[in-house]
Amino acid sequence: MSETEPTALVVVGHHRAGSLTAAVAERAAKRLADRGYRVDLLDLEREGFDPRNSVADEPDYSDRDKRYSDEVHAHIARVHAADVIVPVFPVWWYGTPALLKGWIDRVWNYGLAYGRSKSPMAGKRMLWIGLAGLAEDDPLSELTRDLLDKTLRIGVSQYCGIPGAHTLALYDSEGQDLEGEARDRHYEALFAKAEAAVDALLD
Ligand SMILES: Cc1cc2nc3c(=O)[nH]c(=O)nc-3n(C[C@H](O)[C@H](O)[C@H](O)COP(=O)(O)O)c2cc1C
């Protein structure tokens, strides 16, 4: 592994090992590795990340150098080390599950991710991949895409100084009404969309 090898942090925001979310994250991670990235795969559940906030991790807006919990500093070090960040998660109530939301709440903290004249996130690229149970032609799918894009790409990434961020919604993640090979083909198409989004992020 060379010192100059770029790093990608792939974050899995799902509680269940073997979820489709985890499979999409693995495919995205493999694509990043194939494109020459050292991949840091962060599975929040398997690493025992606690999404609940605490007084220790509340921002103190009079002190941007506040020392937060060791867990938060360990996680932000992995974020800072990454050139590319790819959170993968199931869409729950038009947003991220609490597991991933808590990671953003605690780790993307004042002084660590935002609140400095020179952004600690400058130059990074980011791709949020949300798996949605809704069918793509569902009247609510546009709202899903719009809400994810506004809250995550603009609200989190851009706010923290990452203009090069994108969101991707993968619809019909439960493959309802599909069986056997048709279902496999559907999942393969979702993987391909995630890989294409990774390629677009890097190109
Ligand atoms: C609590 C909860 C909330 C959900 N909310 C949404 C939603 O707002 N929009 C949507 O399209 N699907 C929603 N779903 C469906 C999930 O997105 C879907 O089950 C998931 O993407 C399947 O991927 P997985 O096998 O990796 O869990 C929800 C599921 C749960 C359990």
User: Where exactly are the structural domains of the chain?
Assistant: 7-202
What's the CA-to-centroid distance between 171 and ligand 1, angstroms?
10
- What is the phi/psi pair of residue 138, to 5°? -65, 140
- Would you state the pLDDT for residue 4? 80
Q: Which residue minimizes the CA distance to atom 20 of ligand 1?
A: 90
CATH topology assigned to domain 7-202: Rossmann fold (3.40.50)
**Residue 84 alpha carbon to ligand 1 centre in Å:** 25
Report d(CA 125, CA 131) in Å as an integer: 20
For residue 77, the model assigns a pLDDT of: 98
- Tell which residue, 185, 193, 187, 11, has the closest CA to residue 97: 11
Measured over the CA atoms of residue 193, residue 168, residue 163 and residue 85, the dihedral's sign is negative
- Pairwise CA distance, residues 11 & 133, whole Å: 20
Q: What pLDDT, on the 0 to 100 scale, is given for residue 177? A: 86
Q: How many CA atoms lie within 13 A of 144 on its CB side?
A: 24
User: Cβ < 6 Å from ligand 1: which residues?
Assistant: 14, 19-21, 90-94, 131-134, 144, 173-174
Low-confidence ranges of the chain (pLDDT < 70): 1-3
* Ligand 1 atom with the shortest distance to the CA of 23: 26
Tell me the chain's radius of gyration from C-alpha atoms.
17
Q: How do the residues of the chain divide into helix, strand and coil, expressed in percent and rounded to 5?
A: 40, 20, 40
Return the pLDDT at 3: 63
